[in-house]
């Protein structure tokens, strides 16, 4: 599979397969100018960020794409929930899917004495399309950040990604990670400390 971001054709495949369900309007109490009115719109708004989040955790482009598609499919079970609940639900489902893939990898590796955890392709944070606002310096900064995040324990990486990069509040992050707000703050603090030794811009 080629392409440096969540492939458009894959997104169309998912949306086409689920269109009959996702195009149904949400309940009236969820109707809000700031919220998507259908799951299809919601998927379109989060698919790129979700793919990068999955790729960062799985270090493999194809596995990340599968994880995002699986999470979108599972979200069909929540189509009748208010749109305000879709974001934490989706990220919780996606995180769970990523952890499942990681666990299966670890289980398989126990049967291979000389095996190593697959590294996968390097994340290409740049889009292939024209983007005058994204400079080479910015791309290099993203690459350095991704490399540094990979060195963090999983919980610290998740806390930093969700709180700093995705800008979720503490309560939402805690719900996604399945832990207390205090744990989120602790993981984030430790992540920042670790990153400060590698990335000057986070000091």
Domain containing 86: what range?
8-109
Tokens of 10: 């894959």
- The predicted-structure confidence for 153-192, as pLDDT tens digits, reads as follows 999 999 999 998 888 999 999 999 999 999 999 999 999 9
In a domain, 143, yes or no: yes
Task: Give the number of domains in the chain.
Answer: 2
Report pTM.
0.63
Element (H, E) at 145: helix 136-150
On whether the CB atoms of residues 167 and 53 are closer than 8 A, the answer is no
For residues 50-66, average pLDDT? 91
In a domain, 72, yes or no: yes
Residues 6+ apart with CB under 8 A from 112: none
Residue the block writes with tokens 């169309």: 12
* Higher pLDDT pick, 99 / 114: 99
In a domain, 116, yes or no: no
Question: In 10 A of CB 132, how many CB atoms?
Answer: 5
102, 15: one domain: yes
- The predicted-structure confidence for 63-97, as pLDDT tens digits, reads as follows 999 999 999 999 999 989 999 999 999 999 999 99
* Higher pLDDT pick, 17 / 35: 35
Residue by residue, DSSP assigns 56-68 as HHH--HHHHHHHH
Domain end position, chosen among 109, 128, 153: 109
73, 148: one domain: no
CATH of residue 194: 1.10.10.10
């Amino acid at each position: 599979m080629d392409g440096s971001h969540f492939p458009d054709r894959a997104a169309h495949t998912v949306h086409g397969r689920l269109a009959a369900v996702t195009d149904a309007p949400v309940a009236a109490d969820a109707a809000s100018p700031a919220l998507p009115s259908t799951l299809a719109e919601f998927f379109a708004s989060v698919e790129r960020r979700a793919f990068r989040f999955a790729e960062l955790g799985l270090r493999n482009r194809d596995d990340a794409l599968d994880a995002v598609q699986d999470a979108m499919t599972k979200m069909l079970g929540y189509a009748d929930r208010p749109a305000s609940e879709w974001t934490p639900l989706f990220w919780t489902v996606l995180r769970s899917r990523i952890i499942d893939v990681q666990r299966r990898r670890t289980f398989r590796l126990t049967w291979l004495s000389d095996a190593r955890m697959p590294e996968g392709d390097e994340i290409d944070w740049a889009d292939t399309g024209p983007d005058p606002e994204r400079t080479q310096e910015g791309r290099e900064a993203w690459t350095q950040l991704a490399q540094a995040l990979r060195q963090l324990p999983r919980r610290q990486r998740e806390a930093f990604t969700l709180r700093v990069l995705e800008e979720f509040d503490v309560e939402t992050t805690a719900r996604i990670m399945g832990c207390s707000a205090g744990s989120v703050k602790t993981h984030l603090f430790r992540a920042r400390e670790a990153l400060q030794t590698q990335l000057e811009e986070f000091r």
